[in-house]
Amino acid sequence: MSSNTTRQEGDPADRPGVDGFLRVKDLRVHFPTDDGVVKSVDGLSFNLERGETLGIVGESGSGKSVTSLSIMGLHPPGTAKISGQVVLNGEDLIGASREHIRKLRGKNMAMIFQDPLSAMHPYYTVGHQIIEAYRVHNRVSKQVARKHAIDMLDRVGIPQPGARVDDYPHQFSGGMRQRAMIAMALSCDPELLIADEPTTALDVTVQAQILDLIRDLQQEFNSAVIIITHDLGVVAELADDILVMYAGRGIEYATAHEIFTAPQHPYTWGLLGSMPRLDRERTERLMPIKGTPPSLINVPSGCPFHPRCLYRELTGGASETERPELLEISPRHFLACHLSAQDRQRVWETDIKPNL
């Protein structure tokens, strides 16, 4: 399935030096609707190793969550047209049977959702839900599973786990619920953990705790982690690599260090400019990216970001007619932009960097 003969030079799915624990290649997820085909994800590629963290960043509707649901095989049958490759541990998931994917779910790949209150069943105890997750994939008695659930709650930092295991989700605080969700996701020791906006529904003081927890547990379990967020601050500390998505495609993909110190895409600049920074002198005000995310039915021609791009004139019209490919501009730094290297360098140094 995962034929390596069609490799192209500079494909982000074939980052050099790695064999790819999770390899997503040219993933397309299209939803046929009455109004037209919604191209939620349209040619996305990335690569992730065990023990590494990838941050996927983008606005609402950029295809982040759809990507994660596609990897997990959670789109209801018949709704989405999915093509491309998702290779987990050498096994293509797109062509696999639903039953096979189901067996991988929870065991090999697990997911943490945005709102832990609505993501947990209100009628079952927290313990029951963790036990359930564990027993789907492990043939153990209820007592053993219960002990495991208490252990997991203890590991994610729930006080008095032996007593709280019998509580219902509504008896937990928001932060504790998310901890319980994490305990549930990690109960089968998955190799891949996808966290879809894990801190969005939490208040700020709890956010940092949850992120710390995810990082600690990742080191302990040596799992690969994908963190999906619209908040660059969330991935700043956590991610090894960052993939910036726009209109269903990757537009910049590099190490976190590169993204924060030498970003190349005008959209990434915009994201950085709209992020509050505590470690810098406070400037006048945050700079939002003008305009709104594009329709995924009628994606703008050429570079999908061009209607909102402040530097589109510098491309000589190319951004309106030709879609830029995601190309490797320097080792481990991929970019989809028509701007010339000189222009990018100049704008970054003069317009952007001083204002961050």
Which one of the spans 150-158, 178-186, 224-232, 262-270 is the region binding other proteins (CB under 8 A)?
178-186
**Is residue 292 near other proteins by the rule CB under 8 A?**
no
Residue 343 burial (CB count, 10 A)? 14
x/- letters, 31..70, toward other proteins (CB under 8 A): ----------------------------------------
SS3 letters across the chain? CCCCCCCCCCCHHHCCCCCCCEEEEEEEEEEEECCEEEEEEEEEEEEECCCCEEEEECCCCCCHHHHHHHHHCCCCCCCCEEEEEEEECCEECCCCCHHHHHHHECCCEEEECCCHHHHCCCCCCHHHHHHHHHHHHCCCCHHHHHHHHHHHHHHCCCCCHHHHCCCCHHHCCHHHHHHHHHHHHHCCCCCEEEEECCCCCCCHHHHHHHHHHHHHHHHHHCCEEEEEECCHHHHHHHCCEEEEEECCEEEEEEEHHHHHHCCCCHHHHHHHHCCCCCCCCCCCCCCCCCCCCCCCCCCCCCCCCHHHCCCHHHHCCHHHHCCCCCEEEECCEEECCCCCHHHHHHHHHHHHHHHC
Among 16, 17, 122, 288, binds other proteins (CB under 8 A): 122
Among 29, 56, 72, 214, binds other proteins (CB under 8 A): 72
**Is residue 173 near other proteins by the rule CB under 8 A?**
no
Q: Of the two residues 151 and 212, which places its CB atom closer to other proteins in the complex? A: 151
Q: Of the two residues 106 and 198, which places its CB atom closer to other proteins in the complex? A: 106
Least gap, CB of 126 to other proteins (angstroms): 11
Q: Of the two residues 177 and 249, which places its CB atom closer to other proteins in the complex? A: 177
Q: Of the two residues 45 and 129, which places its CB atom closer to other proteins in the complex? A: 129
Q: Of the two residues 98 and 282, which places its CB atom closer to other proteins in the complex? A: 98
**Is residue 107 near other proteins by the rule CB under 8 A?**
yes
Q: Of the two residues 199 and 264, which places its CB atom closer to other proteins in the complex? A: 199
Least gap, CB of 245 to other proteins (angstroms): 21
CB 201 within 8 A of CB 120: no
Site for other proteins in 77-106 (CB under 8 A): 102-106
Which one of the spans 127-135, 209-217, 278-286, 339-347 is the region binding other proteins (CB under 8 A)?
127-135
Among 168, 221, 311, 348, binds other proteins (CB under 8 A): 168
Among 26, 92, 132, 325, binds other proteins (CB under 8 A): 132
Q: Which residues bind other proteins (CB under 8 A)?
A: 72, 74, 102-107, 110-111, 113, 115, 118-125, 129, 132-133, 136-137, 168, 170, 181, 184-185
